[in-house]
Chain A
Amino acid sequence: MDGYIIATVIKAILILAVISALAGFGTYIERKILAFMQRRLGPMHVGPYGILQIAADGIKLFTKEDFIPSGANKIIFMVAPIITAATAFIALAAVPLLPEFTLFGVTIRPIVSDMNIGLLFVIAMMGVGLYGPLLAGMAQENKWGIIGSARTAIQFLSYEVVTGLSLLAPIMMVGSLSLIDFNEYQAGGISNWIIWTQPVAFVLFIISGFAETNRTPFDLLENEAEVISGYATEYSGMRWGMFFIGEYANMITIGFLASLIFLGGFNPLWIIPGGLAIILKVAFFFFLMLWVRAAWPHVRPDQLMWLCWKVLMPLAVVNILITGIVMMV
């Protein structure tokens, strides 16, 4: 039992360290990819190809003055960024990041906790993440913040519905909420991937994933052109950095979820070992988010709501119905 606790703590710390480092690296990758797509160079001067820009940004964020505006509700203002960052990492607890491997004769399962409600737990934690932006916007005495948190509420709440409904159909097929079961269900190679049997669910999940991670076609929460910085208007320094890390950790989580549920997870792919396969898949989803950001304009809040309630949700329900009928017959 002691060994189990120690192993879990080590895993949790490792995941926290690796994913937050990856989130920092993600900002660099995002700036580079966006720059290349606009035929710019991106960060170039700090270190080779600007790779130490992450360190420079980190030093800047850490050494900035910790600032709480006088009109803000102090406690909520301080707690809100922690909620965003914490829930983003807690959601990763039920996600198997890599296949099992053996290190020094010990078999290690790279998942903090393989609970039987894994997927539900991840979705719930990402749903709780909504409280971060919501409270942050309402804690400050600032109209942009209020508008930002109102947008958070409408966007996250409605797209939670689409995420849940779109995942119901794969859950019905697999018959389990554990992501490891999802992975084993697709163990037979590319033809067994759930994306071939549930293409609509995959598209719906990707769309709502973009909305939940607050990425570009749906980045209404902190859209500079409309609401300055939305819920993060009065944040600076490390508190703002926590929102950022939370957002990038959420992007990585969505990438893991999409590749585990629909794209065969960490099963070996031809000659590619499983661990590398899932990293490639997650990297593809991360790249897709940046690619979409470079290519597409974002939608208006009313278009966002229209898309969610009048198009995506009926599609998700119909998809569940058809899946159910096919499974019954």
Chain B
Amino acid sequence: MSIDNLKNRNVGVQNYRMLDLEPTPKSGWGKFKRVLSRSVKLELFVGLKVTIREMFKALFMGEMHTVKYPFEKLPISPRYRAIHEMKRLLESGHYRCIGCGLCEKICISDCIKMDTRYDENQRKEVSEYTINFGRCIFCGYCAEVCPELAIVHGGRYETASEQRASYSTFEDMLTPIDKLTSQKEYPGFGWISPNADENIKKTPLAY
């Protein structure tokens, strides 16, 4: 399955095939006609044909449906909301977070806890930052409210843990400094949509 199938969220434009179900016959003559047509058409053998066709398709035409999950994974949408990631600035490598505290404020399940202080350059720096993933409901408000695109949702969805409360610290979620070259401009949840320019309307200044 390609990523395009996942991106298409317009329900109703897919090619559905309707079953041609006939109405159940009411009279005896109608029932007799249906029995006759089914016997002459040999519908049981049509069923056999369908199953053997699917078998040949699966075996020789590569249409096996199974995904061997732990070994191979289906692609997920870039806007999927899984475990959070902290992004860095691409140029300087400094973390993007400015310590505004909006994510802590907006968090509806109270799972983000942060503390800030001024560093020697009188710049806000994050001294303490934890997310309790036992409480987090992955609503995405933190990523949406973040003005700097510093906290975003990544694609790590395998989140089983041994304890109910499992905390993640700022350093855990921050992009490692040596992986900075592989950090790309983030397209996912929290980032403005690709057609944002079209959606912008002029704010009227007066009636």
Contacts and interface: CB of A to CB of B under 8 A. Distances in A.
A39 B54 contact: yes
A36 B52 CA distance: 9
A291 B57 contact: no
A39 B50 contact: no
A295 B57 CA distance: 16
Contacts of A291: 48, 51-52
A128 interface: no
Given A39-B63, A40-B66, A295 B48 contact: yes
Interface string B53-81: 01101110001111010000000000000
A321 interface: no
Nearest to A45: B68
B47 interface: yes
A296 B44 contact: yes
A33 B55 contact: yes
Interface string A288-301: 00011011100000
B54 A38 contact: yes
A182 B34 CA distance: 40
B47 A40 contact: no
Q: Could you say which interface size class chain A belongs to?
A: 10 to 19
Interface string B74-100: 000000000000000000000000000
A37 B47 CA distance: 11
A39 B50 CA distance: 12
A36 B48 contact: no
Contact of A40 (B50, B51, B65): B65
Interface in A279-329: 291-292, 294-296
A110 B44 CA distance: 37
Contact of B59 (A36, A44, A295): A36
Given A39-B55, A39-B65, A295-B51, 10 more contacts: A37-B55, A37-B58, A39-B64, A40-B64, A40-B66, A41-B68, A291-B48, A292-B48, A295-B47, A296-B44
Interface of A: 33, 36-41, 44, 291-292, 294-296
24 contacts: A36-B55, A36-B58, A36-B59, A37-B51, A37-B55, A38-B54, A39-B54, A39-B55, A39-B57, A39-B63, A39-B64, A39-B65, A39-B66, A40-B64, A40-B65, A41-B66, A41-B68, A291-B52, A292-B48, A295-B44, A295-B48, A295-B50, A296-B44, A296-B48
The 7 closest A-B pairs by CB, nearest first: A39-B58, A295-B47, A295-B51, A41-B66, A37-B51, A36-B55, A39-B65
